[in-house]
């Protein structure tokens, strides 16, 4: 049985076009354009192809290559002698990243609309594997930026929560995990990933509380219909990403990195841990 299974595996690996999609969201200035440009540059370095340049105004869908040394969720090799590592080197895994453009008030709704469209795709080939939500960790000390960023993330997570709830048991929706890419860790004013997580959780908790209050005021003597609209369900408990995972099954990881800066010993190493997260979704 093993040789046949291997044949099928290799055939599929060769025959399948890049079909795993990731959506890149986050406030402007976080580093989304820089990240897609870097991923493309890394990929074209591997395949000797030239890459295009992007501006923050365009929506782009780029096909990029996962470095062969990054393990995937379905293919966790353990040693350099593992045949799957050789296969990954010969036939690198590709995935696609959609960057979302836009400025000011528009960008959040554009991002959510993109999330809606991509997550509803019936085609297994274009289905959304994960969301990368990028934040500028040096900018979060500013109250307004924190509020803005947390509001956007809250809306993304609330969408994913509703989606997870609406999936019937017969037609199970596949999970869409979220990576909070804590960017700009090269800057000495940057908050470490743990502090970014705490700040975002606390701010989302505040947003949740004011939303609950708004709903209560609106439905003074009627039933509280909007109850299921509260992110993380349990409003008695303080909001945390753990609570969200436990209550609704939406998984959020906060991982530090840097697209730019001289922390990078080698080209692109500041985004390695994000690539590892992406690899685990594949």
Give the residues lining the site for ligand GDP (CB under 6 A): 26, 28-34, 56, 183-184, 186-187, 258-261
How near is the Cβ of 160 to ligand GDP at its closest, in Å?
A: 21
Q: Going by C-beta distance under 8 Å and a sequence separation of 6 or more, which residues neighbour residue 271?
A: 35, 38, 39, 257, 258, 259
How near is the Cβ of 23 to ligand GDP at its closest, in Å?
A: 13
Indicate the residue among 53 and 236 with the shorter CB distance to ligand GDP. Answer: 53
- List the structure tokens of 205: 């908790």
How near is the Cβ of 43 to ligand GDP at its closest, in Å?
A: 17
Indicate the residue among 66 and 258 with the shorter CB distance to ligand GDP. Answer: 258
How near is the Cβ of 176 to ligand GDP at its closest, in Å?
A: 20
d(CA 100, CA 110): 7
d(CA 202, CA 199): 5
How near is the Cβ of 111 to ligand GDP at its closest, in Å?
A: 11
Indicate the residue among 205 and 275 with the shorter CB distance to ligand GDP. Answer: 275
d(CA 116, CA 164): 13
How near is the Cβ of 201 to ligand GDP at its closest, in Å?
A: 22
How near is the Cβ of 187 to ligand GDP at its closest, in Å?
A: 5
Name residue, tokens 């994913």: 160
Indicate the residue among 244 and 255 with the shorter CB distance to ligand GDP. Answer: 255
- How does DSSP classify residue 262? T
d(CA 18, CA 16): 7
Torsion (CA) 204, 210, 213, 218 in degrees, nearest 10: -110
Indicate the residue among 30 and 88 with the shorter CB distance to ligand GDP. Answer: 30
64: phi then psi, degrees, rounded to nearest 5: -125, 165
- How does DSSP classify residue 72? B
- List the structure tokens of 68: 């062969």
Q: Which residues pair with 181 in a beta bridge?
A: 134, 255
How near is the Cβ of 108 to ligand GDP at its closest, in Å?
A: 13
d(CA 150, CA 148): 6
Indicate the residue among 30 and 179 with the shorter CB distance to ligand GDP. Answer: 30
Indicate the residue among 118 and 181 with the shorter CB distance to ligand GDP. Answer: 181
Assess contact for 72 and 93: CB atoms under 8 A.
yes
Indicate the residue among 39 and 282 with the shorter CB distance to ligand GDP. Answer: 39
Assess contact for 48 and 42: CB atoms under 8 A.
no
């Amino acid at each position: 049985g093993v040789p046949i299974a291997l044949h099928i595996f290799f055939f599929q690996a060769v025959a399948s076009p890049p079909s795993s999609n990731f959506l890149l969201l986050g406030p402007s200035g976080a580093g989304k354009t820089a990240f897609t440009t870097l991923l493309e540059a890394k990929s074209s370095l591997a395949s000797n192809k030239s890459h295009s340049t992007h501006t923050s105004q365009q929506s782009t869908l780029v096909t990029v290559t996962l470095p062969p040394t990054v393990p995937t969720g379905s293919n966790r090799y353990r040693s350099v002698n593992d045949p799957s590592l050789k296969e990954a080197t010969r036939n690198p895994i590709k995935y696609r990243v959609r960057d979302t453009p836009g400025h000011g008030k528009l960008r959040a709704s554009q991002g959510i609309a993109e999330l809606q469209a991509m997550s509803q795709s019936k085609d297994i080939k274009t289905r959304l594997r994960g969301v990368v939500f990028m934040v500028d960790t040096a900018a979060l000390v500013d109250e307004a930026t924190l509020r803005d960023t947390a509001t956007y993330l809250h809306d993304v997570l609330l969408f994913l929560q509703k989606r997870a709830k609406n999936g019937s048991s017969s037609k199970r929706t596949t999970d869409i995990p979220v990576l909070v890419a804590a960017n700009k860790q090269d800057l000495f004013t940057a908050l470490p990933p743990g502090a970014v997580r705490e700040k975002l959780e606390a701010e989302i908790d505040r947003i949740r509380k004011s939303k609950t209050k708004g709903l209560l005021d609106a439905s003074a003597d009627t039933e509280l219909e909007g109850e299921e609209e509260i992110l993380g369900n349990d409003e008695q408990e303080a909001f945390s990403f753990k609570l969200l995972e436990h209550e609704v099954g939406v998984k959020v990881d906060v991982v530090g990195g840097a697209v730019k800066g001289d922390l990078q010993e080698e080209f692109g190493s500041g985004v390695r841990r994000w690539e590892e997260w992406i690899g685990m979704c594949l």
